[in-house]
């Protein structure tokens, strides 16, 4: 007769001890994980907006039609049933129905672009200048931007500060800057030094001629003053999210080495 051997087993006390240790570990780890996820919502939303712009540009060139990207007016809703997500529209028949844009219903244009708690606070057409970023636009800046605003808004009604970005059939468009933030709608974050607010902000800057786009944190006041003094352009032309202040000593290094 074969004798069976007893298998070792965990006691109830051991199981409770392990569960207690896991609970204690989770209490330390979970807040850090949640905080990391929350911090990533803004840059991830900016990357998704950039991808949407690039997809829209590719479709415009592929189909030979004009597209536009805009944010909902106060009397509209987006594909997610909110007023947060960008709307993608196409001019389907420029000969018989010019300037008549209809919604693009493809999944790539209807998916969630901006994550929960993230919104676009402003859309600015025209190539960024130091004066514009400092909230001190020159007469030349204002004239150029007004010309592009009117050009982009023929037969289009839009809320102040949210002009549509029209992408032509050859893929070109106006320069544009989309300011994204995690600030609530009633919080004013326009033309302020990023360090003067507790909310995060991030610019998505689009070069209308090449279609390239960069994620760039709003520049600090002293950085803008430095660039104005040296007549340097305020667009770094690569992703720049580092909170470290730019100085005369490191700004060229940052421009030459995007990874820094």
Can you point out the beta strands (E) in 41-134? 67-70, 87-91, 101-103, 119-125
C-alpha–C-alpha distance, residues 54 and 258, integer Å = 21
Please tell me which of 8-12, 55-59, 107-111 the model is most confident about, judged by mean pLDDT: 55-59
Please provide the CATH number assigned to the domain covering 36-192+200-217.
Answer: 3.55.40.10
| Per-residue model confidence as pLDDT tens digits over 59-114 | 999 999 999 999 998 888 877 778 899 999 999 998 898 889 999 999 999 989 99
Q: What is the pLDDT of residue 178?
A: 97
Taking residues 43-54, what's their average pLDDT?
96
Burial class (CB in 10 A: 0-12, 13-18, 19+), 47: middle
pLDDT at 83: 83
Q: Quick one: which of 153, 98, 100, 101 has its CA closest to 125?
A: 153
pLDDT in tens, 201-222: 999 999 999 999 999 999 999 9
Q: How far apart (Å, rounded) are the C-alpha atoms in residues 41 and 39?
A: 6
Averaged pLDDT, 233-243: 90
CB 246, CB 226: distance < 8 Å: yes
- What are the boundaries of each domain within the chain? 36-192+200-217
pLDDT of residue 12: 74
């Amino acid at each position: 007769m074969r004798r069976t051997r007893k298998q070792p087993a965990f006691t109830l006390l051991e199981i409770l001890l392990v569960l207690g240790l896991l609970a204690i570990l989770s209490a330390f780890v979970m807040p850090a994980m949640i905080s990391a996820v929350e911090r990533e919502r803004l840059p991830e939303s900016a990357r998704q907006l950039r991808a949407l712009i690039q997809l829209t540009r590719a479709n415009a060139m592929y189909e030979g039609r004009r597209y536009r990207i805009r944010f909902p007016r106060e009397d509209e809703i987006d594909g997610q049933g909110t007023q947060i997500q960008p709307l993608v529209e196409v001019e389907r028949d420029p000969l018989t129905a010019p300037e008549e844009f209809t919604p693009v219903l493809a999944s790539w244009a209807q998916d969630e672009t901006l994550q929960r708690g993230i919104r676009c606070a402003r859309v600015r057409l025209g190539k960024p200048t130091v004066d514009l970023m400092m909230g001190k636009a020159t007469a030349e800046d204002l004239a150029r931007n007004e010309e592009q605003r009117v050009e982009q808004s023929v037969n289009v009604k839009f809320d102040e500060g949210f002009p549509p970005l029209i992408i032509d059939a050859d893929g070109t468009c106006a320069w544009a800057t989309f300011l994204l933030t995690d600030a609530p709608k009633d919080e004013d974050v326009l033309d302020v030094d990023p360090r003067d607010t507790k909310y995060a902000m991030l610019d998505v800057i689009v070069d209308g001629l090449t279609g390239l786009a960069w994620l760039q944190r709003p520049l600090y006041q002293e950085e803008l003053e430095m660039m104005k003094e040296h007549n340097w352009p305020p667009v770094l032309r690569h992703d720049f999210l580092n909170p470290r202040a730019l100085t005369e000593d490191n700004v060229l290094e940052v421009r030459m080495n995007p990874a820094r």
